[in-house]
Amino acid sequence: MSLLHWEDRYSVGVAAVDHEHRELIELINRLYAEATTQGSRDAIVDFFGDLFKAISSHFALEERLMRERGYDQLTQHKNDHERLLDELRDIMEDFEANERIDEKMLAGRLDAWFSRHFESHDARLHSALGDH
Ligand SMILES: [Fe+2]
Ligand SMILES: [Fe+2]
């Protein structure tokens, strides 16, 4: 079962960025599938590490772009990235402590975050940079 679903309204209008966003959603779905089936604890912890790295490097790329181009909402955008990384850390710590993933937390928090972030911050960023 997939946890998160891509929707057309998430599109920021740049194919390469949409592609990366879809990949992040896919990684979260794979993590969830691993965690709710027979996946071993170590495999899931490793997977969390990979997911965290993939998301951090996507954010780092956007933040570099914003700095290079003097983007006016760098701080707000970066704060929202940090909020997501904090949520992921919470979910990861919760898993390490309880060896289970709270499906509602993962679905509710991450889905809400991703959809809102893609539709607002990322869409604004890419339209401001005019890279269509
Ligand atoms: Fe993004
Ligand atoms: Fe972003």
How many helices (H) and strands (E) are present in the chain, helices listed first? 6, 0
Q: What local confidence, expressed as pLDDT, does residue 1 receive?
A: 60
Q: What angle do CA 17, 18, 19 make, to 5 degrees?
A: 90
Please tell me the predicted confidence (pLDDT) of residue 55: 94
Closest ligand (CA of 121): 2
Q: Running along the chain, 132 residues long, what does each successive block of 10 average in pLDDT?
A: 82 87 90 77 87 93 91 96 91 85 76 85 89 60
Ligand nearest to the CA of 11: 1
Ligand with an atom nearest the CA of residue 124: 2
CA of 31 to the centre of ligand 2 (A): 21
Which protein residues have a CB closer than 5 Å to ligand 1 (ion)?
A: 122
Tell me the CA end-to-end span of the chain in Å, nearest whole number: 33
How far away, in angstroms, is 92 Cα from ligand 1 center?
Answer: 21
What is the pLDDT at residue 38? Answer: 66
